[in-house]
Amino acid sequence: MRQTRPGMFMSALPARRPGGVARATSAQPTWQQLQELLHRDVRDLGLHELPPYIKKFLHDFPSVNVRVEYRRSNLVYEDILHNSVDFGLVAFPVKARQIEVLPFRNDHLVVITHPQHPLAKRTEVEVKDLAGQKFIGFDPDIPTRKAVDQIFRENRLEIEPVMEFDNIETVKRAVEIDHGIAIVPQATVAQEARQGTLAVLPFKARSFTRPLAILHRKGRVLTPAMKKFIDILGLDLPDARDT
């Protein structure tokens, strides 16, 4: 895995073995050397959303290597349009004339706080409860940040921004040391909730979600590998539900 800025791609290539490149057996699809199979636009998608599906893919097709890299959202769309990659996986997908958008899943957005924060005594919060709180957010060009800003605008809520980061892991670490609260996808804080290092609070009587989608260029012929990966992303995997 080669990390750059938030976003990522994945390549599926035949695994090398002594003596050359492994060949697929008759029980498998015919695997050709693929270009980047998947670009991703937000780092936490690769750390928390995708691993169960990659695990399933590699279990079913152990001769295929998977490579992942992160990219900014606008670059994912550009790479899809230029046929530089086969797939993209993005949050808050934007419709484009030449891009096919396949819904993947919806993440619920939740509030996270330090376990000793006054809000942590509650089991859920209302949006108005966040007024005046020190807030840790994502960089302005991150899709999740744009969705959070919209929540604040629609509810005419004023908060106190104290920090901005380009990835979910740093946001969580800042909340763990009580520098402020944050709004994040619920799937990204499952481990911290189990360990008790963060308080995770759903919104009361409201549901804010982060839609995820798979992208590919319209009219592009999908190889057997690409079709199989799409099929796996459509599965309701237990590990994915638990994240």
- Sorted by where each begins, the domain ranges of the chain are 8-105+212-242, 107-209
Domains 8-105+212-242 and 107-209 share a fold: yes
Mean pLDDT in residue range 23-29: 34
Q: Which of 20-24, 89-93, 145-149 has the lowest mean pLDDT?
A: 20-24
Is-contact 12 63, C-beta < 8 A?
no
pLDDT at 159 over 70: yes
Is the full-model pTM beyond 0.75? no
Q: What CA–CA distance (Å, rounded) separates 114 from 105? A: 28
Amino acid at 24: A
pLDDT at 126 over 90: yes
pLDDT at 58 over 50: yes
User: Of 206, 208, 188, 207, which Cα lies nearest the Cα of 198?
Assistant: 188
Top-tier CATH class for 107-209: alpha beta
Q: Which of 31-35, 79-83, 98-102 has the lowest mean pLDDT?
A: 31-35
β-pairing verdict for 99-113 and 209-217: antiparallel
In the prediction, which pLDDT does 172 show? 95
Mean pLDDT in residue range 219-235: 78
The DSSP element (H or E) to which 86 belongs, if any, is strand 85-91
Q: What CA–CA distance (Å, rounded) separates 54 from 36? A: 15
In the prediction, which pLDDT does 73 show? 80
Q: What CA–CA distance (Å, rounded) separates 89 from 77? A: 10
Q: Is 8-105+212-242 assigned to CATH 3.90.230.10?
A: no
Length of the chain: 243
User: Of 104, 61, 105, 63, which Cα lies nearest the Cα of 209?
Assistant: 105
For the stretch 176-193, pLDDT in tens is 999 999 999 998 898 899
Expressed in percent and rounded to 5, the helix, strand and coil fractions of the chain are 35, 30, 35
In the prediction, which pLDDT does 205 show? 85
Share of the chain above pLDDT 70, in %: 74
